[in-house]
Amino acid sequence: MRYLSALLLLATACAAQTVTSPSKAEWTATPGFVRQSSGKYPSTLNLVLYKNDCRDSSGQLQDKNKLASGSTYEIVPTGTGVTTDTPTIGDCTLTVKLTIDASAQSGFQFLMVNEKPDPSKPSTSSRGFAVFAMMDATAGATPGSPEVDVIWDVVSKHVCADSFGKHVPESLYCIELKLGNNSGHSLQLAGVGFKIRHPFAGKAGISPDASLVSANTAYQTTRSMAQAGGDISSRNMAYKALEATGLIMASFTPFFKNTNHKANWSTASSIVSGALVQGFALIWPDNTVRELTNLDDQAFRDGKLINNNQQVRMMVFVDKELIRGQMKQRCTQLLTPAPKTPGGSSDSPDASDLKKCQNSDDPTIVKVLLGDLVIVGDKLDYEGRMVVDTGVTSQEVTPALSASATMDTGSGTVTVTGASLSGVTVTMGNAAQTLTSQTPTQLQFTVDTKTKTPFDIQLKSADGKQTQKVTVQAAPK
């Protein structure tokens, strides 16, 4: 009995010294967290601790729970590298300056609130705590596997031609790619490609399940093709032929001896090289600059950066010759009639149908033959598909300076449209022009309404590395 009494007495003493953890924080810290900037926390931070039970659900102040104005409060952080000064006391709040040392580590800090009712006595009472988070610069989700959503489609030939000119879809497939990044990291894409079945799989010692992985056509190559197509388009060839005709006619003027014939011929050559050329441009405008601008805005470029929790839409281009052999083989298999008798030989497919199938631009057929979409690696995995770097910067190339211009003869307003026009300066003759408006794709300035079109202006990029001579035509009425 004596030993049992001693055991109960010891248990009671231990229970009296046990601290029961509250179910939730009695105080709310505002702000509740701090982030690093360039790998460092701010040296100081003003923090407000609000007492959660100080007001009722309707917002009325509870006198029994408000802070005692005659008491002294102190706030003690539980972590290292964080200190506080003496707080300012309100009815329900404690305002304090938090000092963060360079040695402070990321994680949760418990800000313990102690009250000293009598400043002349050392005894203090605990009044609960607030939770304050110190977040790392690279804080974010760490998934077990990357969460990157990819969807893509082959764009029909006429839609591609309307956007980027008729020359591009003659040699390339236009593919619209939508990619969403929810991996918890910034992703830098190095390339996009397609895995197709090897056209000679199972032959000449090649494995029956062999495949080929080919990358998309580079942006620079696609832009060069679009520029080349603009130079040899039927519209531009006809326009240049008219200009050449006017020049040739003007060069024959001195050979006329008869004054009237000479004057008539001179007038005719002026009409051909002036009004006829301008009228042709109004009826059939040159869309090369607009098409190149569309390409600059939409095309995927190596080094594309996609931030976490963002989605991007872009266009990639694939050489048609990439699946030419695959298309011939697949069309032959599909169009070859079944044998009329079991074990018999099959008839050859119809030549016209086979040719039509092999030269098809049907988006569904092309998508099936292109196979699986690949981003750098053979599969959509974390290591082989992308470079992950929280400090990476975009490697996208600034589009080349390109523009065309028209003038409103009534108001004298000259409008220049094109690409990379931010910061561009305009010179007319030897005089710099004052711009009335300027955006990356358009700028305007005003000249004397008596100025006759066409006339030339000189554009110069902001860095001074690019210049372009632009002929200003009269705007359509």
Neighbour tally for 254: CB within 10 Å: 9
* Eight-state DSSP code of residue 61: B
Contacts of 139 (CB under 8 A, 6+ apart): 35, 106
Residue spans per domain, the chain: 22-135, 148-216+300-336+348-388, 226-291, 402-474
CA distances from 358 to 12, 169, 196, 324, 337 (A): 91, 16, 16, 8, 17
| Residues 203/208/209/210 CA torsion (nearest 10 deg) | -20
Give Rg (Cα) of the chain.
Answer: 38
Does 402-474 match 22-135 at the fold level?
A: yes
List helix spans (H) across 44-172: 157-164, 168-171
For the CA atoms of 449, 452, 454, 456, the dihedral, rounded to the nearest 10 degrees, stands at: -70
Q: What's the pLDDT score for residue 2?
A: 46
Residue 300: partners with Cβ closer than 8 Å, 6 or more residues away: 177, 189, 192, 216, 219, 314, 315, 316
* Per-residue model confidence (pLDDT) at position 386: 44
**H or E stretch covering 309:** none
pLDDT at 19: 36
CATH code of the domain occupying 22-135: 2.60.40.10
The pLDDT of residue 383:
38
Burial of 160 (0-12, 13-18, 19+ CB in 10 A): buried
Q: Answer whether 300's CB lies under 8 Å from 205's CB.
A: no
Count of C-beta atoms within a 10 Å radius of residue 310? 13
Here the tokens at position 356 are 């039509």
3-state secondary structure of 372: strand
pLDDT of 385 reads 40
Give the tokens for residue 282: 């109004």
Q: In angstroms, what CA-CA distances link 240 with 40, 184, 231, 247, 267?
A: 62, 55, 10, 11, 20
Amino acid at the residue 410? G
| Domain 402-474 class, CATH top level | mainly beta
* 395 vs 422: CA distance, rounded Å: 19
Residue length, the chain?
477
Integer Cα distance of 221 and 104 in angstroms: 51
Count of Cβ atoms closer than 10 Å to residue 257 Cβ: 7
> Who contacts 145 (Cβ-Cβ below 8 Å, separation ≥6)?
381, 382
| Amino acid letter, residue 348 | S
> Going residue by residue through the chain (477 aa), what tens digit of pLDDT does each one get?
444 444 444 444 444 333 334 457 888 998 888 888 777 888 898 989 888 888 887 778 877 788 877 788 888 888 788 889 988 888 888 899 989 888 888 888 888 888 887 767 777 788 888 888 887 765 554 445 556 788 888 999 889 988 888 888 888 999 998 888 877 677 778 788 888 777 777 888 888 888 888 788 888 888 888 888 777 788 888 888 888 998 899 898 899 889 898 899 999 988 988 888 888 888 888 888 888 888 888 888 877 778 777 888 999 998 888 777 777 777 777 777 777 667 666 677 777 777 777 777 888 878 887 888 887 633 333 333 444 444 544 444 456 777 889 998 888 899 998 888 888 999 998 888 999 988 888 899 999 888 888 899 999 988 888 888 999 888 876
pLDDT, residue 353, reads 78
